[in-house]
Chains A and B, each alone.
Chain A
Amino acid sequence: MASLLLSRRDLDFLLHEWLDVSSLTSRERYAEHSRETFDAVLDLAEQIATRDFAPHNRRSDIEEPVFDGERVILHDEIGKALRRYADAGLIGAGMDKGVGGMQLPAVVTQATMAWFQAANVGTSSYPFLTIANANLLQAHGTPEQVQTYVVPMVEGRWFGTMCLSEPQAGSSLADVTTRAEPQGDGSYRLYGNKMWISAGDHDLSENIIHLVLAKVPGGPAGAKGISLFVVPKFLVGTGERNDVVLAGLNHKMGYRGTVNALLNFGEGKHTPGGTPGAVGFLVGEEHQGLTYMFHMMNEARIGVGVGAMALGYSGYLHALDYARTRPQGRPADAKDPATRMVPIIEHADVRRMLLAQKSYVEGSLALNLYCGRLVDEERTGLTEEARTRAHLLLEMLTPIAKSWPAQWCLLANDLAIQVHGGYGYTREYPVEQLYRDNRLNAIHEGTHGIQALDLLGRKVVMQGGAGLALLASTIGETVDRALKEGAIASRYATALSATLNRAVEVTQIVWGAGDVALSLANASVYLEAVGHTVIAWMWLEQLLAAHGKEGDFYDGKRHAARYFFQWELPKTTPQLDLLASLDRTTLDMHDSWF
């Protein structure tokens, strides 16, 4: 039976027939790799995800983490699966050899991670956060910090967290109040509370390495006064328990296998070195914390998009499997009630829902992998210009790569439930859990609204609009290739080109309003319209990659592209018109009118 997690065929198509990832092996960083190792590591990921992650996905949903006042209790399969993951060497898959990594290209690393997120997003969070933490420390920590903290994380002995939000400061990170007092010996003591900390406390690893945003007294106000600290649960060397304690667990709608906690730093429950206060060590320079964190955040946001896609993809495959086996009703033109019932996939409306899902999840996967390929280009591009270009395009695409899958692959999960009918609404079928799990992805690592502000307020105007211009010219290259193909590709290219030009025009209108509040008021609509334009571009790329190839798989790609261009891209027209009208409806609404 084909996997109900992801489609390896689709991954192979995108990685090899479209993105030509094997060509990366000509670059020094990836020289030891080959198509063979890419295939083998994807086989390995699928195998561990299927055998060790998927089987306890439901159990984690039912048996939430419990805090007994001293420690967090998790069921035993989570730790066992993570041990398998770490023993296989997958934590360091994409990292440098110097820290024990395998220097797998980012695009293949993402495809690898997608298997685990599709199988069990709750358990996958532990390595996901550890990898993000280790990457950040490797980029901005001292060599000693890298040796001390990153190496044990790559080995899977220690896990990591990201401590940004506080009860009063979530999206508004400038308002964090956790303070870090210098001790004169190079260390700091931290005091404050951190909220929504995934993997915040557990016994799954020997140590937990928290990366914490805090303010050093006397520093600049707001975001410019934020610094980054590494705060281990157990101090390295002495093994002393640091003054970081779990204050309580959050009980969530989904992602239940991931412990999520309120952590108190420096409340005095533990007294490392004889005094209260959480011992922390500065990463990089003071007051640069948010900049460093955003280095990780961009990577994490793309990763969130991959997770959203993976949950949507698995839901789609479950819905497809169900629709092929569930007999119900007869064809619309069948007159005789005694004829056999047909599988529901025979009904046009069910096909509509499956096509929508297919176009969302496969479109998202293409964007996820395209961004992964850009990370590789940013890191190993042959010229400075190529690297800079990749960086700029990635900056531009990141809010879309995070938010589009979070919004539309959640809708795919919604449609997967709909295909299942009443059964989909029960806990006997996995699609309802996939929906609940996926609902998080439009919230964490920057909400949908934050991504919209990032795109319209920052990315399209950065460097005098260079990001938007680059996106437009890159899409333009695809359009030019498609126009030369003629036929269907040419027709879609014309539609995409018109939408793109309109989006660029509308961007100028929006920013010509002369009022920042008005310009940004409808940013979410802008994100959705540009998001759909980008996914249409991804479908045109896939159509071109499938050109001249025969078989159901390629016909499926062509038909999903047709769906997206016929049914989805036209949705941008009223959205762009609304934006161009500088509509004030949301601004003019008063609190007291609700």
Chain B
Amino acid sequence: MNIVVLVKQVPDTWAERKLNEGDKTLDRASVDVVMNEIDEYAVEEALRIKEAQGGEVTILTMGPERAVETIRKALSMGADKAVHLSDEALKGSDAVQTSYALGKVLETLEYDLVIVGSEATDSRMATMGALLSERLGQPQLTGARKVTAEGGTVTIERQTDDGYAVVEASTPAIISVMEKINEPRYPSFKGIMAAKSKPLTTLSVGDAGVDEGQVGLAAAPSQVVEFSNKPPRQAGQIVKDEGDGGTKIAEYLASQKFV
């Protein structure tokens, strides 16, 4: 079973994340970057399916040159090869444009499953699976906490508020996974060394058949119009317990519309 995993490089979740004052895009230069955490689960799930059934795992990443660090990490976990879509023209692309560009690359790859993380920690859009499903005309199965793929069918347990739903589709299909699905492995030292020689194809927009006019900040259907930093944390309010502490806390919570 051949699987493509979409992997995104994002600013470290624990770092202070900022937007550039000028073009209001994400400031990637000033922060440490990491693999989007949920994408580690996506890679792990793909590797588990591959280890059980054979096939190949391909990493697909769109991002600046530096994103190759994240691609190498996925390869050192055990993925077989990678495609890196990297072009200055893509800078500032929103989710819709990104799905267009990634869809173009996916059209050139042979796969049974595309696995994505449920959302990225930077944009928090959580739409990539759905957007690709629409563009590629392939079924999507979202919020997977378990995946079973056999023959031409893939079945997932889709997490819901009350339990889970079993959802089935024919392949090729697009699956988004959530944290409950597995515990991602660490790369091994041997994996790190092996990753150096695994195939990594870098594509420009031209190579991928992406129309340059449809991507990038200027052509983006959605724009960040304005932003402001969150206000500094204010000092807390101290409630003195004079036998009525519980009531005071309840009143406070009610005044803040928490209850």
Contacts and interface: CB of A to CB of B under 8 A. Distances in A.
A89 B60 CA distance: 27
B192 A41 contact: yes
Interface string A21-56: 000000000001010110111011001100000000
Interface in A1-33: 1-2, 32
16 contacts: A1-B14, A34-B196, A36-B196, A39-B69, A40-B76, A41-B192, A44-B186, A44-B187, A88-B186, A88-B188, A88-B189, A89-B188, A89-B189, A89-B190, A90-B189, A104-B189
Contacts of A34: 196
Contacts of B69: 39
A295 interface: no
Given A1-B14, A34-B196, A102-B193, A40 B186 contact: no
Interface of B: 14-15, 69, 72-73, 76, 186-190, 192-193, 195-196
Contact of B186 (A32, A36, A39, A84): A84
A88 B192 CA distance: 10
A206 interface: no
A88 B193 CA distance: 12
Contacts of A32: 193
B72 A102 contact: no
Contacts, number: 43
Interface string A165-190: 00000000000000000000000000
A102 B186 contact: no
Contacts of A2: 14
Contact of A102 (B76, B187, B190, B196): B190
Interface of A: 1-2, 32, 34, 36-37, 39-41, 43-44, 47-48, 84, 87-90, 92-93, 102, 104
A47 B40 CA distance: 13
Contacts of B196: 34, 36-37
A149 B195 CA distance: 30
Given A39-B69, A44-B186, 8 more contacts: A32-B193, A37-B193, A40-B76, A40-B192, A88-B187, A89-B188, A92-B189, A104-B189
Which among B69, B188, B195 has the greatest number of chain A C-beta atoms within 10 A? Answer: B188
Contact of B189 (A1, A41, A84): A41
B43 to A, nearest CB: 14
Contacts of B192: 37, 40-41, 44
A93 B14 contact: no
A43 B73 CA distance: 10
Contact of B187 (A36, A40, A92, A93): A40
Contacts of B187: 40, 44, 88
Nearest to A103: B193
A36 B73 CA distance: 10
> By DSSP majority rule, is chain B's interface helix, strand, loop, or mixed?
helix
A92 B193 CA distance: 14
Contacts of A102: 189-190, 193
Which of B73, B76, B188, B192 is packed against the most chain A CB atoms within 10 Å?
Answer: B192
Nearest to A112: B189
A62 B190 CA distance: 36
Nearest to A104: B189
Most A Cβ at <10 Å: residue of B14, B187, B189: B189
Contacts of A36: 72, 196
A102 B188 CA distance: 11
A89 B193 CA distance: 11
Nearest to B32: A8
B237 to A, nearest CB: 16
Nearest to B69: A39
Which of A89, A90, A102, A104 is the most central at the interface, judged by chain B CB atoms within 10 Å of its CB? A89
B11 to A, nearest CB: 13
A41 B196 CA distance: 13
Contacts of A88: 186-189
B189 A47 contact: no
Nearest to A101: B189
Contacts of B76: 40
A527 to B, nearest CB: 37
Contacts of B189: 41, 44, 88-90, 92-93, 102, 104
B15 to A, nearest CB: 8
A81 to B, nearest CB: 12
B36 to A, nearest CB: 15
Contacts of A84: 186
Contacts of A89: 188-190
Given A34-B196, A102-B193, A40 B188 contact: no
A102 B195 CA distance: 14
A2 B15 CA distance: 7
A34 B195 CA distance: 12
A87 B188 contact: yes
Contacts of B188: 87-89
A47 B72 CA distance: 16
Nearest to B68: A36
A240 B73 CA distance: 43
Contacts of A43: 73
Contacts of B186: 44, 47-48, 84, 87-88
Given A88-B187, A89-B189, A93-B189, A40 B72 contact: yes
B47 to A, nearest CB: 14
A41 B188 CA distance: 9
A333 B67 CA distance: 49
A581 B190 CA distance: 58
Contacts of A47: 186
B223 to A, nearest CB: 31
A1 B190 CA distance: 29
A48 B76 CA distance: 15
A92 to B, nearest CB: 8
A292 B195 CA distance: 38
A43 B69 CA distance: 11
Nearest to B192: A40
- A-B residue pairs, 8 tightest by C-beta: A89-B189, A1-B14, A40-B192, A89-B188, A102-B189, A88-B188, A88-B186, A89-B190
Contacts of B193: 32, 37, 102
B194 to A, nearest CB: 10
A555 B73 CA distance: 33
B238 to A, nearest CB: 14
Contacts of B14: 1-2
B118 to A, nearest CB: 21
Nearest to A51: B186
Contacts of A1: 14-15
